[in-house]
Every structure is written in structure tokens, then in C-alpha cells.
Amino acid sequence: MHWLTHFFARIAALFESPKAKAIEAELASLTEAAFPIVQAIAALVPNKTVQEIAAAYEHYGIPLATQITTDPNSVGNALLNLATALLQKTQAPDAAVSLLNTAVQLAVTALKLRS
């Protein structure tokens, strides 16, 4: 069990590093920037139909990279990709896509909590 204690101590230390704190601050800033984007997309796509999603992509001038199906995973991925692309285009062109995806997902959660 001694090794397990050291393992968790090393993981905890990762979250206290200056690099982790910088990522946390960047994520907070990106989440604030993502919130109005998520709100706007939600207004454009109230029923989450394939046609609404395709129209939202066209509205923002973002190319639709893959075929969207009515499958909830396909719809969710298409909306996540649209919001991430807009956030990258308007706020953080050099940010890692994984960080942008996380910010969008946190903004979606915040929007759901406000509703």
C-alpha cells in the first residue's frame, strides 16, 4: 500500500504545479468566451435537427466536415465541433483543441444549469 500513497501524492502534485495552474486559468477564460457562443448556437439549433445544424454551420461559415446523422452522438459531436471551431476562430487560434473542447463542454453545462 505504500506505493499507492506515493502514486496519489505524485498525481496531486501535478495539479499544484505552475503549468497546471496556468492551464486552469486559461480554461476559465476560454469557458467564459465559449458561453455566448454556446448560447448563440443553442438559439440557432433549438430542435437539434440535422437541417438546423447544417444551417448553423453555414451561418458561421464553418465547413461541415462530416455527414451528420440523427444519432444523438453524431448531433452532439457536430455541435461540439461547431462551437469549438468558432471559439478557436474568434478567441484562441493557437489553443489546443482538447482545451477548447473542454471549455465548450463546461459552457454547455453552465448553460444547462442556468436553464
Q: What is the pLDDT of residues 25-44, one digit of tens each?
A: 999 999 999 999 999 999 99
**Which residue has better confidence, 74 or 65?**
74
Arithmetic mean of pLDDT over the chain = 91
- CA 28 – CA 46 distance, rounded (Å): 26
Q: Residue 73: its pLDDT value, please?
A: 92
Instruction: Of 42, 30, 40, give the one whose Cα is nearest residue 75.
Output: 42
pTM of this prediction? 0.84
- CA 47 – CA 100 distance, rounded (Å): 24
